[in-house]
Amino acid sequence: MTEYLPPILAEYGDDLLDGFLVTIQLVGMSVAFGAIIGMGVAAARMSPRWWLKAFAWFYIGLFRGTPLLAQLFLIYYGLGQFSGLWRTLGLWNFLRDPFNCALLAFSLNTAAYQAEIFRGAILAVPEGQWEGARALGVGRRVAFMRVILPQAALLALRPFGNEIVLMIKGSAVASVVTVYDLLGETRLAYSDTFRFDVYFYAAALYLVLVETLRRLWDIFERRLTRHLDRERKEAVVDPAGQPVMS
């Protein structure tokens, strides 16, 4: 098999694939953790309690207003300065590992962006939807879950996808803390061989990843907008034998 590959892939292909998996793992996990934290932060940001609001405002400002690289550096090398303290607190086993530190930095960073995406989407659902639900005697909680959230999800879908794509590319900074993701491995291979084409293969892998994500998002969007889809609806025949009006 390897003899059919370009020589640089025969030699460094495994390393690039390892890096590719690290990228997927790092981005997948940090986006998931980021979504959980982000929902909390978005809720805090919209809370009537001033101190929750202030905290969320500060958090979002801090993580969106400073470079991811600086956050990663501070979390890895900065917290590393106090290793004695973390040892006594029992946190050193977690912070000692570079992957954990990268995961922590990326999760906290993407949570700030996601919080704003979620908040924006929820606020963008027209006020009338709340009023309509109330007029029908639906409680706030149910109204949020069944009326507001499905509409907000549709609004948040594309920005959320964008955020993941940005994280995929932003995660390339992980190699400064010795976590060699796809781009990190590429740079290593390049500095061993001085052959530019290795960047081409890395770019191809990134494209595959982003394109896969884009197609997945198309599917999600079709699913979330199925109530708006004219053609599909007309195909559905109602029990009385008449096409359903849309």
Q: Using CB under 8 A as the criterion, which residues of the chain lie in contact with another protein when the complex forms?
A: 77, 80-81, 83, 92, 96, 98, 175-176, 178, 180, 187-188, 190-192, 194
- Give min distance, CB of 186 to another protein, in A: 11
Q: Which two tokens stand for residue 126?
A: 């027209």
- Give min distance, CB of 198 to another protein, in A: 12
- Give min distance, CB of 211 to another protein, in A: 29
Question: Running DSSP on this structure, what letter comes out for residue 181?
Answer: -
**Which of 38/98 has CB closer to another protein?**
98
Residues 119, 125, 129, 133, CA torsion sign: negative
Q: Which two tokens stand for residue 95?
A: 């912070």
Beta bridge partners of 237: 243
**Which of 58/82 has CB closer to another protein?**
82
**Which of 86/220 has CB closer to another protein?**
86
CB 193 within 8 A of CB 8: yes
Question: Running DSSP on this structure, what letter comes out for residue 144?
Answer: I
**Which of 98/161 has CB closer to another protein?**
98
- Give min distance, CB of 91 to another protein, in A: 13
Question: Running DSSP on this structure, what letter comes out for residue 237?
Answer: B
